Chains A and B, each alone.
Chain A
Amino acid sequence: MIRKREVSVREAVQESLDCVAALDGTLNCFVTLDGERALARADEVQRGIDDGTLGGPLAGVPVAVKDNICTEGLRTTCSSKILYNFVPPYSAEAVCNLNAAGGVIIGKTNMDEFAMGSTTETSAFGVTRNPWDPEHVPGGSSGGSCAAVASCEVPYALGSDTGGSIRQPGSFCGVTGLKPTYGTVSRYGLIAYGSSLDQIGPIAKDISDCAAILEMLASYDKKDSTSVKREAYDFTSALVDDVKGMKIGIPSDYLGDGLDPEVEAAVRKAADVLRQKGAIVEEFQLSLVEYAIPAYYVIASAEASSNLARFDGVKYGYRAPEYEGLHSMYKRSRSEGFGEEVKRRIMLGSFVLSSGYYDAYYLKALRTKALIKQSFDRAFENYDVILGPVAPNTAPRLGESLSDPLKMYLGDIYTISVNLAGLPGVSVPCGTDAKGLPIGVQLIGDCFQEKKIIRAAYAYEQARGSWQGPADLEKRCDRIPEHAASGEAAGPESACVSKEVG
């Protein structure tokens, strides 16, 4: 519409901001809103479009960015008190690519603190609510980005995925979220959680948008040693409604035990749709599925314990107001600055790297990771795409998961192995449960085979019909009083982490 001049960039951005103003008091998708600069930027982009210097499909389209992706001059907190005041002097490479394409960032979205969590409840800036039912979580850790897209606050958003953080909230919020092959989108400027697993990816309504956004985000970046120079960065050409002869495998170990029957039925139905379109769909044994979770929590926590060491009150971010000497400053700043879940993982990670335990835990986890990759390699000898659920359940009620972290960790079972093996995966909405909460189907490809999963997703969408968001959104939100979303951590005792809307 922007390209056809039916809507000006300013109008599009203003519409986004209005929507946020109407809904976000309840949903709390944003940690920081940047309305004024977004409007100024809108005019700048409009000029670019008018004089022909900006022409891509995303020029002038408003976008929200997860708050662990650095944005120059715009506060980036990782939803943590310890970075409550951090304004990066540089932008992540993905953000640079987005800016070059004429994207207009309207703000930074809420997340589980440092991306550690599956509900967006561990944020120091309050929980984000699920637009489909505000009594439920949006999933996480990219809960703010997914809820913002589901509620149409923005047409698309950037998320990051370390163990399912794009796909799982995508599934819970009924939007499409794609995690690219490790090394496809530069990690420069993404505040690291588990460096060997983290990837930035797009969150949008459908796969066509995701493919176009990925095309814009992906690039070889010399500043990221793990960035891969790919042969081609064209993904939209895979938007073809044809899966005839495509071989799709469903891991039978993903079905059954622990999987909600409603989710299983929806996923099987999605597989049937593809079968009817001519794909060859069969079940197979992937194996080692149960080892993915322990391996992931050892590796991700180990890396996190080291990655998060830099937040110490010395250089930037939160410093405890009272301390005696260096060590007291470290201890207090970190004890007061980090939340429970982050501390739990730092301790776990420090433990598995300690001398005497390194071989038993960390090395063993690395070997398990290699074996998991091998079992995927074997699967991809037979299949083009692996299809399965994204999560065992639909979005739980607020507060339900945090009381039992172990259960929460087990909820990552279908997404985590994809990160361990570095594969691309996408979550596509495939129905709702009896409560009306969305269900997602996950399509997994071999390394650098994004186009195969994009093609399968596109063919499925053509049969499913166009994207449907939650109806009567404002009515749903009205049931919840404004600011009820703000959690304890954002309370008056820490004025410094209060929401900043500017």
Chain B
Amino acid sequence: MARQYETVIGLEVHVELATKTKIFCGCSTAFGGAPNTHTCPVCTGMPGSLPVLNKQVVEYAMAVGLATGCQINQYCKFDRKNYFYPDNPQNYQISQLYLPICHDGGIEIETASGRKVIGIHEIHMEEDAGKLIHDEWDDCTLVDYNRSGVPLIEIVSEPDMRSAEEVIAYLDKLRLIVQYLGASDCKLQEGSMRADVNLSVREVGAKEFGTRTEMKNLNSFKAIARAIDGERARQIELLEEGKPVIQETRRWDDNKEYSYPMRSKEDAHDYRYFPDPDLVPVVISDEWLQAVRDRQPELRTEKLARYKKEFDIPEYDAEILTGSKRLADVFEETTALCGKPKKVSNWLMGETLRLLKEEGMEPEELTFAPEHLAKLIELTDAGTINQTVAKEVFEKIFYEDVEPERYVEEHGLKMVSDDGVLRTVVEGVIAANPQSVSDYRGGKEKALGFLVGQTMKQMKGRANPGAVNQLLRELLG
């Protein structure tokens, strides 16, 4: 009988923090500046420069630690991780090894197989490296230090996950927690959230873990799922053939759906960690910790429970809306303005998600003002515009954040209910469509719909559909 295997997975997740300035200097963390414009002597490793810790980094790390049930080390230190690489200007990275800021936490995930807590071993603060750009034309490599010194936290899980499904659930939960805290936008594609997967397999029932590999270069949840399945299959195949799994770092190629060895344990670096003598220990007072605790916002789980209780919207909607901090914020702000949760939810669940999908955008990228959506709902409810026009105006709000009332005014989109105007148009439509008229009279109810459509078309969508319907029935009756 074939042997049964179990997959054991632990994750190292890097999250780029949303601070305005870098972790050890005052340079901007903004994305996309011209190369080496967001730099100074500190983040380019000039001789004699010294790091000074950004307090906001500590607060974000604490906030994430608290939200994931971690213990906070109120006396923590920075260590130097020594290795030579040109993207690392000092040839050491300032990180935390001996006393990381958070440790021993966990978060609960829910999958088809039920609820489960995934342990968090530690969270530590560190600096990001620069970026190497290979110039094919001149055959040389250039370095951009704009990203050098951008603050990161690394969240190291326990090896508690057993499937790709659990991994995705864990990452999704983690992403939401961090986004809700405002600590990062957590975009996998842009690299503001990166996950390395440590994976081993063992026979079901075995007590010892198998030899693990670490996989890097995973740029989407889908890639992570594929990499896990691919690596699991590769390791099982090795074991079935009686070959050993080698402890090594592998690079996942999502196009080829295969991982390639980067370096084995034998040629792994000896990082020669030691406490950074340029930085003093971070001492977190009880008061500081309490202040951060007091500022913790409502997180997803609590928000979802509140939505179910507070708003009369379907459970499914509540889950989708709270599944993105931005979407939830827009929902709450708009609802607070117009007092119509159901209608706000409909706009977000319907048109908003449709347009996001069409544009390949994330809800986090929504830019329109909640005031404008609230106004649109008000205009619709008041009968100032009809549903068709509302959708058109909403698109304008979605893309250009226009003020709806002025837009409707300027473009003459107000709903026309005036009997005289409508009557003239309807009479014209009846005259122009004798076939439909006789169909309707012959009992084909559908033909009426066509005539309503024709009228709306002539009215450029602005007609009051109820009034048109009534007029047609009257004139044909």
Which residue numbers of A lie inside 8 Å of B, CB to CB? 69-70, 76, 78, 83, 86, 88-90, 92, 187-192, 194-196, 222-226, 302-303, 305-306, 309-312, 314-316, 326, 330, 350, 353-355, 358, 362
Which of A88, A306, A312, A316 is B274 in contact with, Cβ under 8 Å?
A306
A326 to B48, alpha carbons, bound, how many Å?
Answer: 25
Q: Known: A306-B92, A314-B86. Is A189-B48 also a contact (CB below 8 A)?
A: yes
Distance (Å) between the CB of B114 and the closest chain A CB? 41
Interface pair A362/B47, CB less than 8 Å apart: no
A316 to B50, alpha carbons, bound, how many Å?
Answer: 17
Interface pair B86/A88, CB less than 8 Å apart: no
Determine the chain A residues whose CB is within 8 A of the CB of B143 once the complex forms. Answer: 314
Which of B84, B273, B279 is A309 in contact with, Cβ under 8 Å?
B84
Which of A92, A196, A305, A358 is B48 in contact with, Cβ under 8 Å?
A92
Complex: chain A residue closest to B81, CB-CB = A306
Interface pair B49/A196, CB less than 8 Å apart: no
Q: B91 near A: Cβ within 8 Å?
A: yes
As a 0/1 sequence over residues 28 to 42 of chain B, the CB contacts with chain A under 8 angstroms (1 = contact) are 000000000000010
Which of B41, B51, B86, B270 is A354 in contact with, Cβ under 8 Å?
B270
Complex: chain A residue closest to B275, CB-CB = A366
Interface pair A191/B47, CB less than 8 Å apart: yes
Interface pair B47/A83, CB less than 8 Å apart: yes
Interface pair B47/A225, CB less than 8 Å apart: no
Interface pair A315/B89, CB less than 8 Å apart: yes
Q: B46 near A: Cβ within 8 Å?
A: yes
Complex: chain B residue closest to A312, CB-CB = B91
**Dominant secondary structure at the A interface:** loop
Distance (Å) between the CB of B135 and the closest chain A CB? 15
A187 to B274, alpha carbons, bound, how many Å?
Answer: 20
Determine the chain A residues whose CB is within 8 A of the CB of B84 once the complex forms. Answer: 309, 312, 330
Complex: chain A residue closest to B44, CB-CB = A315
Q: B103 near A: Cβ within 8 Å?
A: no
Taking CB atoms and an 8 Å cut-off, the chain B residues in 276-335 that contact chain A are: 277-280
A353 to B91, alpha carbons, bound, how many Å?
Answer: 15
Which of B47, B49, B279 is A76 in contact with, Cβ under 8 Å?
B47
Determine the chain B residues whose CB is within 8 A of the CB of A86 once the complex forms. Answer: 47
Q: B272 near A: Cβ within 8 Å?
A: yes
A222 to B53, alpha carbons, bound, how many Å?
Answer: 10
Task: Show 26 residue pairs from A and B whose CB-CB distance is below 8 angstroms, ordered by the A residue.
Answer: A70-B48, A76-B47, A86-B47, A88-B46, A89-B41, A188-B48, A189-B48, A194-B277, A222-B52, A223-B50, A224-B52, A225-B51, A305-B272, A306-B80, A306-B92, A306-B272, A309-B90, A309-B91, A315-B44, A315-B46, A315-B89, A316-B47, A326-B86, A330-B84, A353-B274, A354-B272
Determine the chain B residues whose CB is within 8 A of the CB of A354 once the complex forms. Answer: 270, 272
Interface pair B274/A224, CB less than 8 Å apart: no
Q: B380 near A: Cβ within 8 Å?
A: no
**Dominant secondary structure at the B interface:** loop
A190 to B92, alpha carbons, bound, how many Å?
Answer: 19
Q: B469 near A: Cβ within 8 Å?
A: no
A373 to B123, alpha carbons, bound, how many Å?
Answer: 33
A223 to B91, alpha carbons, bound, how many Å?
Answer: 21
Complex: chain A residue closest to B141, CB-CB = A326
Interface pair B89/A310, CB less than 8 Å apart: yes
Q: B220 near A: Cβ within 8 Å?
A: no
Distance (Å) between the CB of A92 and the closest chain B CB? 6
Determine the chain A residues whose CB is within 8 A of the CB of B89 once the complex forms. Answer: 310, 314-315
Determine the chain A residues whose CB is within 8 A of the CB of B52 once the complex forms. Answer: 222-225
Interface pair B50/A309, CB less than 8 Å apart: no
As a 0/1 sequence over residues 126 to 154 of chain B, the CB contacts with chain A under 8 angstroms (1 = contact) are 00000000000000000100000000000
A353 to B97, alpha carbons, bound, how many Å?
Answer: 14
Which of B41, B48, B274 is A190 in contact with, Cβ under 8 Å?
B48
Determine the chain A residues whose CB is within 8 A of the CB of B272 once the complex forms. Answer: 305-306, 350, 353-355, 358
In addition to A88-B46, A187-B48, A306-B80, 9 A-B residue pairs with Cβ atoms within 8 Å of each other are: A225-B280, A303-B277, A306-B82, A309-B82, A310-B89, A311-B47, A315-B89, A354-B272, A358-B273
As a 0/1 sequence over residues 81 to 112 of chain B, the CB contacts with chain A under 8 angstroms (1 = contact) are 01010100111100000000000000000000
Which of A224, A302, A310 is B45 in contact with, Cβ under 8 Å?
A310
Interface pair B274/A362, CB less than 8 Å apart: yes
Interface pair A226/B48, CB less than 8 Å apart: no
Interface pair A226/B44, CB less than 8 Å apart: no
Determine the chain B residues whose CB is within 8 A of the CB of A223 once the complex forms. Answer: 50, 52
In the complex, which of the residues B41, B52, B143, B274 has the most CB atoms of chain A within 10 Å of its own CB atom? B274
Distance (Å) between the CB of B381 and the closest chain A CB? 56
A291 to B50, alpha carbons, bound, how many Å?
Answer: 30
Taking CB atoms and an 8 Å cut-off, the chain B residues in 6-57 that contact chain A are: 41, 44-53
A270 to B265, alpha carbons, bound, how many Å?
Answer: 61
Interface pair B48/A355, CB less than 8 Å apart: no
Q: Known: A353-B82, A355-B270. Is A225-B48 also a contact (CB below 8 A)?
A: no
Distance (Å) between the CB of A55 and the closest chain B CB? 29
Distance (Å) between the CB of B401 and the closest chain A CB? 41
In the complex, which of the residues A310, A311, A358, A362 has the most CB atoms of chain B within 10 Å of its own CB atom? A310
A130 to B92, alpha carbons, bound, how many Å?
Answer: 39
A224 to B42, alpha carbons, bound, how many Å?
Answer: 11
Distance (Å) between the CB of A83 and the closest chain B CB? 7
Determine the chain A residues whose CB is within 8 A of the CB of B47 once the complex forms. Answer: 70, 76, 78, 83, 86, 88, 191-192, 310-311, 316
Distance (Å) between the CB of A12 and the closest chain B CB? 28
A461 to B84, alpha carbons, bound, how many Å?
Answer: 51
Complex: chain A residue closest to B85, CB-CB = A326
Complex: chain A residue closest to B41, CB-CB = A90
